[in-house]
């Protein structure tokens, strides 16, 4: 238990109002009393009760950030960027990891609302549309602005994300230009927006180029990437390129490739997603479609703060980038 203003006031023989004034740096307090209060403030372990303060001022200066997996490198970068931006703007952050669990996502959404955050940045797991509308609906109904990142599940609030179809198309086009005509895709879950869109982009581009696409669907995690690649390698003819739609699935897929005794880019080309791997830990180095994480985080935060000022939150689509290394 920390001491309260009331107690401070009692021991000092002044009123709580005076203590409060000193704490908030108000002008109308005499230098002597101010000095006395500040002196006591230093050695008595006073810690202002932010809950009570927020209750009174009706402001928390707090933004919630909710992602499916905090250990995903992409999310880590986005979060750090957003948190720095918000910190500069004087906002505190509440970080939540739903662990890819839609129930937990909802629980966190309720919890954040209960904590009276002033806005939320969310990479939702997004189910069916009406379902989602229901989930976000309650939060928005409480007057809490939301900005989506990564996953775009509803038009009811703003979003900052890449043009995922373009990312898919970009990958297929590149592999085609490298001479591949027998391309396989390991897609993320099509129950999620990013999974669907990236795959749709691939299909569109393939259709334009007159290509057949072999598709496997995973869940964005290592294991599903491993299994999908294994399954693809069991087919004849073997694909001449594989485009994998998440970083973790890519690592799994590369392991499956190696376990099958195959090598990239010799036996087939490999194109990944969200892998920068600056230090070339994975050899040969992996080419990848990457997102501007820092820009996404900062822009989403900026967008959200604008929404707090009443502006309708915008939806911004950024350009994905093709990071070419050795794998294709």
Residues 195, 18: Cα–Cα separation, whole Å: 58
The answer to whether residue 252 forms part of the interface with its own copies (CB under 8 A) is yes
Backbone φ, ψ for residue 118 (5° rounding): -90, -10
Tally helices (H) and strands (E) across the chain.
12, 12
Least distance in angstroms from the C-beta of 45 to DNA: 11
Cβ proximity of 297 and 78 under 8 Å: yes
| β-strand partners of 158 | 147
Would you say 93 or 148 has its CB closer to its own copies? 93
Candidate list 14, 77, 125, 271; residue touching DNA; CB under 7 A:
14
In what helix (H) or strand (E) does residue 64 lie, and over which residues does it extend?
Answer: strand 62-67
Least distance in angstroms from the C-beta of 35 to DNA: 10
Least distance in angstroms from the C-beta of 11 to DNA: 12
Residue 316: which of its own copies, DNA, none does it interact with, CB under 5 to 8 A by kind?
A: none
Helix ranges restricted to H, 189-246? 193-209, 222-233
Would you say 7 or 116 has its CB closer to its own copies? 116
Would you say 61 or 238 has its CB closer to DNA? 61
Q: What angle do CA 249, 254, 255 make, to 5 degrees?
A: 100
- Stretch binding DNA (CB under 7 A), from 32-40, 70-78, 119-127, 216-224: 32-40
Candidate list 42, 45, 58, 237; residue touching DNA; CB under 7 A:
58
Least distance in angstroms from the C-beta of 14 to DNA: 4
Candidate list 59, 115, 208, 314; residue touching its own copies; CB under 8 A:
115
In what helix (H) or strand (E) does residue 7 lie, and over which residues does it extend?
Answer: helix 5-12
């Amino acid at each position: 238990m920390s001491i309260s203003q009331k107690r401070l006031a009692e021991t000092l023989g002044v009123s709580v109002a005076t203590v409060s004034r000193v704490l908030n740096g108000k002008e109308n307090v005499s230098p002597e009393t101010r000095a006395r209060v500040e002196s006591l403030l230093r050695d008595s372990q006073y810690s202002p009760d932010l809950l009570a303060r927020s209750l009174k001022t009706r402001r928390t200066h707090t933004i919630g950030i909710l992602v499916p997996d905090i250990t995903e490198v992409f999310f880590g970068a986005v979060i750090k960027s957003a948190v720095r931006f918000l910190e500069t703007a004087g906002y505190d952050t509440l970080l939540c990891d739903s662990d890819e669990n839609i129930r937990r996502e909802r629980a966190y959404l309720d919890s954040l609302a209960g904590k009276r955050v002033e806005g939320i940045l969310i990479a939702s797991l997004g189910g069916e549309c009406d379902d989602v509308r229901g989930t976000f609906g309650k939060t928005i109904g409480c007057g809490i602005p939301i900005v989506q990142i990564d996953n775009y599940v509803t038009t009811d609030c703003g979003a900052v994300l890449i043009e995922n179809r373009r990312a898919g198309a970009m990958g297929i086009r590149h592999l085609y230009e490298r001479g591949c005509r027998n391309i396989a895709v390991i897609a993320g879950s099509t129950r999620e927006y990013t999974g669907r869109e990236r795959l749709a982009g691939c299909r569109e581009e393939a259709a334009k180029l007159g290509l057949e696409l072999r598709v496997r669907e995973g869940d964005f995690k290592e294991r599903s990437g491993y299994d999908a690649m294994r399954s693809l390698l069991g087919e004849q003819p073997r694909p001449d390129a594989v485009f994998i739609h998440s970083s973790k699935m890519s690592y799994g897929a590369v392991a499956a490739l190696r376990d099958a005794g195959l090598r990239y880019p010799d036996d087939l080309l490999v194109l990944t997603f969200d892998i920068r791997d600056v230090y070339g830990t994975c050899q040969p180095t992996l080419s990848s479609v990457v997102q501007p994480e820092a820009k996404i985080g900062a822009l989403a935060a900026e967008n959200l703060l604008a929404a707090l000022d009443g502006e309708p939150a915008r939806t911004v689509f950024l350009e994905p980038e093709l990071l070419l290394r050795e794998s294709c």
